[in-house]
Structure formats: structure tokens, C-alpha cells
Amino acid sequence: MLCRLPLTVRFGECDPAGIVYMPRILHYFHVAMEELFAAAVSRPYARLVAAEGLGFPSVHVEADFRRPLAHGDRLEIEARIERVGESSCAFAFAIRGEGEDDPRATGRVVTVCIDLASGERRPLPEWLREPLLAAAEPPL
């Protein structure tokens, strides 16, 4: 399953040079991950976290920046599930400018499922793991 999210770069997301401040790109990845999660499991990410007491903190993040993202740029963030483990998921991302083939930024984030009450790692519940597995695509 591939999720595509349109986005326009806002003034407040940029540094004084007028380009997107690097941590914002990681935020864009997370927003796309939330949309992908919701599409894969047919439940909004925030509701999943609140109702089930599950958390999905990042345990590994990597990103490559090829071209700047600037104020006013219209972007598309592409997200896909790369791998589903017993308690973890790996997500891959690409950010492209409108109409562009080559990504301006790419990244990968690995999350782990935790019990929010205890903070302990836990296996993905089967009702969640199954749709995530069904939505997973192998790495490019």
C-alpha cells in the first residue's frame, strides 16, 4: 500500500534562509506515517493510540536530503510500509516537489509497539499486525 499526502510548505516551517528546517522533514514523515497507518488499519492513528493504549515511538531514523524544500513549495509525501516484525514496523518515505520524478528527500523510520501504561515493548496485536502485513511492500 502506498500513501500519498499533498503538502504545501508553510512560512513557520522554514529557517531564516527560507528552506524547511530539517526536523520538520522528520515531522512530515510522521504525518505521512499517521495517514498510512489509518489507511492500512481503517482507524485514525490518534484514536488507535488513545483507545488501545499503544504507542509507536521511533527507534531508528534515517534521511537523505537531495534538494531543499522552500516556503510555498507544493509537495507530495509518499509513504509505504517496508517491513512488519513481531513488535516493530519499518516505514519508507519520499518527498517530491509537485510534478517531479526525483525525490528531494527520502527516509526510513522504524517504530516499535509499546504499552503506554508501562512503557514496555510489546508484540503488535494480531488485529493490528495482520492489516499492516497485508499493506507492506518490499523495499525498493
Q: Which domain holds residue 43?
A: 2-135
Phi, psi of 78 (to 5 degrees): -105, 130
Q: What is the pLDDT of residue 139?
A: 65
Give SS3 for 34.
helix
pLDDT digits (tens, 9 = 90+) for 76-101: 999 999 999 999 999 999 999 999 99
Question: Is a pLDDT exceeding 80 seen at residue 138?
Answer: no
Q: How confident is the model at residue 140 (pLDDT cuts 50, 70, 90)?
A: low
What's the total number of domains in the chain?
1
Does 140 reside within a domain?
no
CATH number at 77 reads: 3.10.129.10
Does 57 reside within a domain?
yes
- DSSP class of residue 70? B
3-state percent breakdown (helix, strand, coil) of the chain, nearest 5? 30, 40, 35
